[in-house]
Amino acid sequence: MLSEIPGAAGTGAGGPGGSAAPRRIATISLHTSPLDQPGSGDAGGMNVYIVEVAKRLAERGVAVDVFTRATGPEQPPEVEMAPGVTVRHIGAGPFGALDKHTLARYLCPFVFGVLRAEARNDPGHYDLVHGHYWLSGRAGLVAAQRWGVPLVQSMHTLARVKNSALAEGDVPEPEARVRGEDQLVRQADHLVANTADEAAQLIHHYDADPGRVSTVPPGVDLDVFTPGSRADALRTLGLPSDTALLLFVGRVQRLKAPDVLLRAAARLVEADPALRERLVVAVVGGLSGADLEQPRRLAELARTLGIADLVRMEPPRTRAELVHYYRAATATVVPSHSESFGLVAVESQACATPVVAARVGGLPTAVRDGVSGVLIDGHDPADYARVLHRMITEPAWRDRFGAAGVGHARGLSWSATVDGLLDVYRATSATEPLPAAANQ
């Protein structure tokens, strides 16, 4: 699946088989480690993506080294995350969490550390560099040029797009990031977008060459996220069997708009007071870097709305634990202001639970509107409340979405993601590197 956008098919120069797949790649994940638990801080969908893809690449004979910044003195220089996947900790800047804007200052020592690790361990070993998020791309570019190999870049989120859909009170992404992304779009040998929408944004907002952009959708672990008994799942969570559970999973930050779910829940119990007896709203996830006050504000909001007794704020959960939440939920709600893809939405559907989501970013790809869930324009809690009320009170209607969701999620496996990435890697390796002029 090399590309879903017009023009990008041309990137298939050489196409699958046009060049051999790389034997070993350097994945750069500067600001967050694949060893971190997703759902708080800077760890989210990108971490899941890197882990799932790296494991499956290694299973297909492509060794992956993931370079990430060391955040504590106890971290060994290298950790085998899975057979064929090594996480390399690079010292750059002070230990501890650093926000992404501060991290930009430590790009130089990070790049130096990456180059030194390669020279020490196995010089000339990497066939390709894959950068994730713009900061990693900036580091990856230097390494790729030094090693004379291509740079494939996944942005995951884009500053211009994020800034055009800020939640109230959110701080815009700085101009330095916008400029950094602009440069990277010109300099990377190839760009991988999660959705056709993101590919179009790269082309229209960043002037990317359509011939160097491919769309490769992320996936879902279909062995972990499976349908199961709702009654059992509710029991596991310690909830009565008639509970109507509305679920939010993800980092608790303004951009993800968990407040919209709380406001919708307040409307639900106002309109249908009998629901108060059995409604539960679970917010699963932790603090996120730039938004440290958000969980406290959310708890305050629940009190102000008079639904504090219905809201359960849960710490980040492992994937094995999350399965019970998805299976137990009447619906998973994803009211984000912007979302590059929305793995949570796909995981929920894989567990046969419908998704009620905002029609933004990658969510129209992640959710089949009217089939596996309902997409809503905007963030008016009344609109969410209306759909959620039907999901709760018309189980047959709700279950039809659930059943269709399983089929939709099956089409989004990590294995298909790796097929697409290997096509991109082969094609990029077969293409002449960009001339130096493009790097200005």
Q: Detail the residues annotated as belonging to a binding site for UDP-N-acetyl-alpha-D-glucosamine.
A: 37-38, 45, 251, 256, 317, 339, 347
> Any contact of residue 322 with ligand UDP (CB under 6 A)?
yes
> Any contact of residue 343 with ligand UDP (CB under 6 A)?
yes
> Any contact of residue 373 with ligand UDP (CB under 6 A)?
no
Shortest gap between Cβ of 165 and ligand UDP (angstroms)?
A: 13
> Any contact of residue 367 with ligand UDP (CB under 6 A)?
no
> Any contact of residue 251 with ligand UDP (CB under 6 A)?
yes
- 182 burial level (CB within 10 Å; 0-12, 13-18, 19+): middle
Pairing of strands 244-249, 213-215: unpaired
- Helices 196-206, 175-187: axis angle to 10 degrees equals 100
- In angstroms, rounded to a whole number, what is the distance separating the alpha carbons of residues 437 and 434? 8
Stretch that binds ligand UDP, among 204-212, 339-347, 371-379, 396-404 (CB under 6 A): 339-347
**Tokens, residue 359:** 């029609």
Name the phi and psi angles at 353, rounded to 5: -115, 125
Nearest partner of 3 among 209, 159, 188, judged by Cα? 209
Q: Which amino acids are annotated as binding site, given as ranges?
A: 31, 37-38, 42-47, 100, 133, 157, 177, 251, 256, 317, 326-327, 329, 339, 347, 353
Pattern of binders to ligand UDP over 25-64, x per CB under 6 A?
A: -------------xx----xxx-x----------------
> Any contact of residue 66 with ligand UDP (CB under 6 A)?
no
| In the complex, residue closest to ligand UDP by CB | 44
Stretch that binds ligand UDP, among 144-152, 178-186, 311-319, 376-384 (CB under 6 A): 311-319
> Any contact of residue 84 with ligand UDP (CB under 6 A)?
no
Pattern of binders to ligand UDP over 261-300, x per CB under 6 A?
A: -----------------------xx---------------
Shortest gap between Cβ of 406 and ligand UDP (angstroms)?
A: 17
Residues numbered 130 to 169 that lie near ligand UDP (CB under 6 A) are none
Angle (CA) 223 227 230, round 5°: 140
Stretch that binds ligand UDP, among 17-25, 124-132, 146-154, 245-253 (CB under 6 A): 245-253
CB 190 within 8 A of CB 424: yes
**What DSSP line would sit under 173-238, residue for residue?**
PPHHHHHHHHHHHHHSSEEEESSHHHHHHHHHHH---GGGEEE----B-TTTS----HHHHHHHTT
> Any contact of residue 344 with ligand UDP (CB under 6 A)?
yes
> Any contact of residue 210 with ligand UDP (CB under 6 A)?
no
Give every CB contact of residue 50 below 8 A, 6+ residues apart in sequence: 27, 29, 34, 66, 132
CB 438 within 8 A of CB 185: no
Name the phi and psi angles at 357, rounded to 5: -135, 160
> Any contact of residue 327 with ligand UDP (CB under 6 A)?
no
Q: How far is CA 386 from CA 121, 348, 379, 399, in A?
A: 59, 20, 13, 17
CB of 126 or CB of 341, closer to ligand UDP? 341
Interacting residue ranges for ligand UDP, rule: CB under 6 A:
38-39, 44-46, 48, 249-251, 284-285, 316-317, 319, 322, 341-344, 347
